[in-house]
Structure 1
Amino acid sequence: METPSVSSADRNPLLWKQAKARVGFKLHLRSYLVVNAGLWLLWAAMALLIHTPGRDGLFFPWPVFSSLGWGFGLAAHYFRVYSNGGSAETMIEQEYQKLASQQ
């Protein structure tokens, strides 16, 4: 079953931009999950293979740096895409509407 496509003339440009931003975030999230899962699996495999008797199996979890660093960027991407438009123009418009309603 095919989904009906909307011609470019019938598209609302703001909704189209928001849809593209949301798909971009979902792709970013998928990349984050796949890459970080791979890094953690690599770390776990290395920890099992490079077991030193005196260290009791402790092996520094180096993927935490990529997970946290990239995670902060991913969180920022999420809030930019899913919060009230997130753009300066939208925030200015909202502030203007507040000021206009006060008069």
Structure 2
Amino acid sequence: MAAPYGTPEESAGDDLRGRALQRLKRKQAFYRQLTTYLIVNAFLWVIWVISGLNGGSWFPWPIFPLLGWGLGLAFQARSVFGRDGFTEAEIQAEMRRLSGD
């Protein structure tokens, strides 16, 4: 008779699949945000150039949304593509340093 919740290997595989899907969704959301960022900021710079050519101010006001939104996008990129924790080699190296080897 099979176990009602599957074998531990199946559970680990399901957990890995869930984590992989979650990571892919985060990457997809980042790329969607990046595309929106590029399109909107390009549009803002076009508005700035057109208004400047028509006698408006040449103060580069689009820099503010570009930098503010860009900073948020950078944090999102770090959270999506950054490392989650330490590698085993880094942990072992730190343990050797602490023990004096």
Q: TM-score, normalised by structure 2?
A: 0.68
* 1:61 match: secondary structure: coil
Question: Residue 50 of structure 1: CA displacement?
Answer: 1.2
Cα distance in 2 for residues equivalent to 1:95 and 1:33:
34
Residues in 2 aligned to 1:38 and 1:95: alpha-carbon distance in whole angstroms = 43
- Using the TM superposition, give the Cα deviation of residue 102 of structure 1 relative to its aligned residue in structure 2, in angstroms: 3.8
Letter in 2 for 1:67: L
Q: How does 1:61-72 map to 2 (within 5 A)?
A: 61-72=60-71
The two structures have a TM-score, normalised by structure 1, of 0.67
- Is residue 2:26 matched to residue 1:21? yes
Percent of residue pairs bearing the same amino acid type: 31
Cα deviation per residue 1:43-75 (whole Å; 9 max; x = unaligned)? 000000015xxxxxx610000000000011111
Moved over 2 A (4+): 94-99
Gaps of 5+ in 1: 1-8, 52-57, 86-90
Give the 5 Å matches for 1:1-103. 12-50=17-55, 59-85=58-84, 91=85, 94=86, 98=91, 102=95
Name the counterpart of 1:3: none
* 1:12 alignment partner, SS class: helix
Question: By how many angstroms is 1:95 displaced?
Answer: 8.0
Gaps of 5+ in 2: 1-13, 97-101
- Deviation of the 1:98 alpha carbon: 2.5
For the pair shown, the structure with the greater C-alpha radius of gyration is 2
| SS of residue in 1 equivalent to 2:59 | coil
CA displacement 1:16-49 (0-9 Å, x = unmatched) = 0100000000000001000000000000000000
Secondary structure of the 1:50 match is: coil
Kindly report the root-mean-square deviation, in angstroms, between the aligned alpha carbons of the 2 structures.
2.6
